[in-house]
Chains A and B, each alone.
Chain A
Amino acid sequence: MPRLLSSALRIRRDPRLLKIPPYLSLLCILVGVVWLFLLPLDEYSRRTYISENALLPGQVHTYFGGSDQNVFRAYKHEVNALEDKSNLEINDKLESIIKGIGLKVGRQNFTYNSAGNVYSGENLYALLKAPRGDATEAIVLVAAWKNTKEELNRNGVALVLTLARYFKRWSLWSKDIIFLVTPDSIAGPQAWVDAYHDAHDSSRVDRLPLKSGALQGAIAIDYTQQERFESVHIIYDGVNGQLPNLDLINSVSNIAGGQMGMGVAIQEMWHHDNKYPDRLRTMLRGMLKQGLGLASGPHSSFIPYHVDAVTLQPFGRGWQDEMAMGRVIEGTFRSLNNLLEHLHQSFFFYLLMHRDRFVSIGTYLPSAMLVAANFTIMAIALWVKSGQPELNKEAAKKNEEFEVNPNNSAVERDLFLPLGFVTGCQFLSVIPLYLFNHAPESTLTPIFAVFTVLNLLLPYGLSHLITTYYAPTAQQYQMIRSFSLLLLGMFLSSLATLNFSLSLIVGVLSTPLTFMQPWPESPALRTFCTVLLNAIAPTMVLVIGASVWRLEISDVLREAAFAWDVYGMYSSIVVWCVWWPAWLAASVTVLGKPVPAATRRGKEKAKTA
């Protein structure tokens, strides 16, 4: 045993050991990325299953149909007549219709300001008291007047009215049902859910006049298609990449796909052959949406409050009519009605790659963690390296300096500059965060253009500043890299537990930062690294991303500011306060010109003498 330990100690001393970490980091990155691409294989993904037995999806007869079709047609006429009316007029009419059905109605005003624009409107909702319940639990049926593409949700609103009338006739509900009609798809539901949980800012959003118990689930209808449809598209991404319980998606897919015989699609994959490429595409689309953290429909605002919610959207040409859609919702509501406790059995962290195929967190998390770990490994390696004497020719000559303490090879580290620099970068990041979230819309694009140009020049300026005033040594550059990578690794691994996809996307885009170092003697390599870094700068990625998806930069920025102001999307914090400072530190390092420690010490001695 002692021999083993002493040989272990000898290995620890071996200078070759310090050459390993960069390769280890690279290996982590490669394994992490390859891991992701293995997930769609049959061996790594699993079939979905209903975990909560109380749900019993598709086990009841649904009776929606027959004369309800006439009712639906009548309500659709009413909705058509309201097409060009104002929000208030629409709500006045809807209120009289719902009161006619015999339900209590509440209305709520909201006004949001974002990027100089005003988003205001009035929500209208109705409460169906459960004949068999005690008003401690409720389920919500939502239809936004306009969907996320600003199309009139003609059939959706008419269907909600019809279902309200139909549900009222049944005596089997043990949970209250709330019917919510919002003027738009994002701000309205957000205002309503905030106010329902008393978490609203009362200067912008009114309180709700009428409330029920804890929300157990919510279904939103986005039904603009006029022709008969073929399949149902389930939209499930919540704000900040949070997802609803997988049981809810499974129930809907079970009812629609199994009981009603419709197709079920996810992530806008209108055709899916359940083979590897389609599965991968579905998964990557899901990850991208999750990573952006944007609200994808009226259901998104519910998920942060731990209310599981999805939006259902009919698509394709087929023979299913509005009644079939109504029956899907009826079936889902009957299932939710059965719940004895909040949905908790199934997964909250998953990646869906087909409607009945998924991977759970235990299988996919290692890939993001490996990518985040590569930064930490490199940070530790750099720290150890910075504690070792400089190994160049000059140092070899001046070896006597280290001979004072031959066994204890650690040299003292000068922490002030690296700590100050990394902290400074972190604080600088507040500027873009504030600018892009508070500037009015008209100035967003010019500010972005100016910022992009400044961002190109900033590393040169900072590098010039620190080389002129502080003359950092190679050790100090190592420590700058070490601290900045440590912070990056730390933020990303924490983030991986909250929003896996965002962490992985930022992690993969920042992988080159691991390998950046000063190139004082090789201008070619320095230029190459600078170009590479500028290609993966947050601003550049935004520009490239926008052009790939054919979006206007101004729309992207406006949407991001809206997301920040209205539903608290934190992706912009991650971009500006996690990714950007790490990028800046790496860019400055690449441009660095380290001064040999010995000359610097000599200079200081001269100064003090």
Chain B
Amino acid sequence: MNDGKVTVGRTAGLFLGAAVLRLALFTLFPGLPDLLTGRVEVSTPVTSFKRLQEGLFLYNHNVSPYEGGVYHQAPLFLPLFALLPSFATLPIFTYLLYIAVDLLSANALLKIADSREAGSSALFTSPRRDKRWSGFIVAALFLLNPFTIATCIGRPTSVFTTCAIIHAIAKAIAGAPFTAMVALSFASYLSLYPLLLLPPLLLLAYDRRKQTTKTTPFAFTVTHLGIVVGVHAILFGMSYLLTDCSWEFLPSTYGIQLTLQDLTPNVGLWWYFFVEMFDSFRSFFLAVFWLHLSAYVGGLTIRIRRQPLAVMTLLLGIFAIFKPYPSISDTSLFLALIPLFRHVFPLMRYTFLETAIVIYCCFLGPAFYHLWIYAGSGNANFFYAITLVWGLGLSLLVCDLTFAVLRDEWEVERPEMVGKEIRQI
């Protein structure tokens, strides 16, 4: 009883501290938000706050926000930000909105951690599950992660997607599949790729559904697919009405992600490849890249069927590397979920190496970007080389986590092999 109160107080303190830290960064360093908004590591063409301002300006002047080809984000952002007092005069409301979104994400993450789903799912119970971090620590690691803070200060709209994804997971675990589907639909409406999380999320929701109502897996899937389609239809319909009854927003938001028309550099692997590409091969390689991105979904979902939360974590890691417009915001979402798997940390083999690579890239990336863009003494290859290393570091992390999760399962199946060396043959 008393313990619970202490935890609540501690959590409130953490949230307050995180909010104050962000507010202090916003207000004490007035140049910082704009600096971060301009960084390619934080803002991508499909999430940039600057582009949102542009779209908002057009929207407020009754011009289609997609005129001019700068704004590539979902139409529903426009009424939301139009409701807030103007950013130019009262930026504090925008700041508060972004801080609130971060806190909401942290709160959902806290619930995920406290549900202990990562250690013991419906079909699998890890022998190591007692070694875990409480929701407080997981939330603290998310809120105090420099990537999360930088994302919050840089105000890309991807924080809304992050929030929706984490809420979808939290609701699925809490046994509210309907809300989970609605949250995921919002996420995929905002940035398309979360739709790929649907299969593991369905499994997670099915595993954690209330046992009182009896449904067959088939009926469950159909019902919830129906919910997703329905919510999408509603959102698209609202967007259609908002943009003066035109479907123009579809090619400008999802089309741009599917066909990669804006080749602004980012931390991902696509832009450089498609800058170099001859136009005749473009559509083929677009298909290959998207196929590659979505191919992981089926494989991982089937192989790690017993731990859908692990599948989603790994998928989010893969998306943070291979999606068309990744940013450190996606990395922060992946890094937010990793602490849930504290129990498999001892099985991971290259944590120091991965951390070192990621931190190295954090310094070398901006340095090389500076050499390329400002000093003029480097070129695009410098920055691309570092994004490759960044991708390498993150993929090592994903592989390592996959290995640890699988090894954890395997040691349950083969108790005689516990602690034996893995050998590649």
Contact = CB atoms under 8 A, between A and B. Distances in A.
A344 B376 contact: yes
B420 interface: yes
Given A5-B423, A6-B423, A380 B377 contact: no
A348 B378 CA distance: 9
Nearest to B374: A306
B58 interface: no
Interface string B399-413: 000000000000000
B278 interface: no
A405 interface: yes
Contact of B346 (A344, A348, A349, A412): A412
A172 interface: no
Given A9-B421, A490-B360, A497 B346 contact: no
A380 B352 contact: yes
B416 to A, nearest CB: 13
A376 interface: yes
B351 to A, nearest CB: 9
Interface in A221-255: 242
Nearest to A412: B346
Interface in B330-381: 346, 352-353, 356, 359-360, 363-364, 367-368, 370-371, 374-378
Contacts of B374: 306
A486 interface: yes
Contacts of A9: 421, 423
Q: How large is the interface on B (under 10, 10 to 19, 20 to 34, 35 or more residues)?
A: 20 to 34
A349 B376 CA distance: 11
Given A5-B423, A497-B367, A497-B371, A306 B356 contact: no
Contacts of A405: 419
A10 to B, nearest CB: 10
Interface string A40-70: 0000000000000000000000000000000
Contacts of B419: 405-408
A383 B368 contact: no
B425 interface: yes
Contacts of B353: 380
A498 B420 contact: no
B424 interface: yes
B275 to A, nearest CB: 19
B367 A376 contact: no
Interface centre among B346, B368, B377 (most CB of A within 10 A): B377
Given A9-B421, A9-B423, A349-B377, A493 B364 contact: yes
A393 B368 CA distance: 50
B425 A491 contact: no
Contacts, number: 57
Nearest to A308: B376
A242 B375 contact: yes
Interface centre among B370, B375, B424 (most CB of A within 10 A): B375
Given A242-B375, A376-B356, A498-B370, A407 B364 contact: no
Nearest to B365: A494
Contacts of A11: none
A2 interface: yes
Given A242-B375, A494-B367, A497-B371, A380 B425 contact: no
Interface in A375-395: 376, 379-380, 383
- Judged by DSSP, the binding face of A is helix
A376 B377 CA distance: 26
Contacts of A490: 356, 359-360, 363
Interface in A356-387: 376, 379-380, 383
Interface string A486-510: 1000110111011000000000000
Contacts of B356: 376, 379-380, 486, 490
A495 B363 CA distance: 9
Contact of A348 (B352, B359, B368, B377): B377
Contacts of A406: 419
B375 A306 contact: yes
Nearest to A307: B376
Contacts of B424: 5
Nearest to A482: B352
A491 B363 contact: yes
A581 to B, nearest CB: 15
B425 A2 contact: yes
A494 B363 contact: yes
A410 interface: yes
A412 B343 CA distance: 12
Contacts of B378: 497
Contacts of A493: 360, 364
A342 B375 CA distance: 13
Nearest to B370: A498
A85 B378 CA distance: 46
A493 B424 CA distance: 34
Contact of B367 (A304, A348, A349, A498): A498
Contacts of A376: 356
Contacts of A242: 375, 377
Contacts of B375: 242, 304, 306, 348, 498
Contact of A497 (B352, B368, B376, B421): B368
A486 B352 CA distance: 10
Interface in A395-442: 405-408, 410, 412
12 contacts: A242-B377, A344-B376, A349-B377, A380-B356, A383-B352, A405-B419, A494-B360, A494-B363, A494-B367, A497-B364, A497-B367, A497-B371
Interface of B: 346, 352-353, 356, 359-360, 363-364, 367-368, 370-371, 374-378, 419-421, 423-425
Given A306-B374, A407-B419, A490-B356, 4 more contacts: A5-B424, A494-B364, A497-B367, A497-B378
